[in-house]
Homo-oligomer: A and B are copies of this chain.
């Protein structure tokens, strides 16, 4: 099995636990997140992934919403749902990087319900670092790379 095939390897693995992450962010759920079955709609998980990672990128100075020259373009995302989440659950996201390429980053995010130790859902998304105007890939510079390396899983 190819080592590039992280998503499917994960599909056979156990859900991740909190101890596998060093970086966490706390998120709140919303009334409108719950669907007709009374649980968080599967789409919302991705809004939480985005918010967890981009919140960290902004705080660490890796993303400047208004003036940045480089942005992260999303080229692939995925999620596996192990258990249910629902408003008004508080959610903690564990965030890590599983692959750091020349111009791309693959983030892994696990969502933990309340104080749970086992992830209710876990997903990934792949950012390609691009020039904001041309949308062409740009190599990740050494200063930014050093920050990414701090959260490699």
Contacts and interface: CB of A to CB of B under 8 A. Distances in A.
A53 to B, nearest CB: 8
Contacts of A125: 42
A-side interface mostly: mixed
Q: Report the copy number of this chain in the oligomer.
A: 4
A38 B29 CA distance: 19
What's the interface size class on A, roughly? 35 or more
Contacts of A1: 1-2
A76 B76 contact: no
Given A26-B28, A27-B28, A41 B50 contact: yes
Interface of A: 1-2, 4-5, 7-8, 11, 26-32, 34-38, 41-44, 46-48, 50-51, 54-55, 58-59, 65-66, 71, 74-81, 86-88, 125, 132
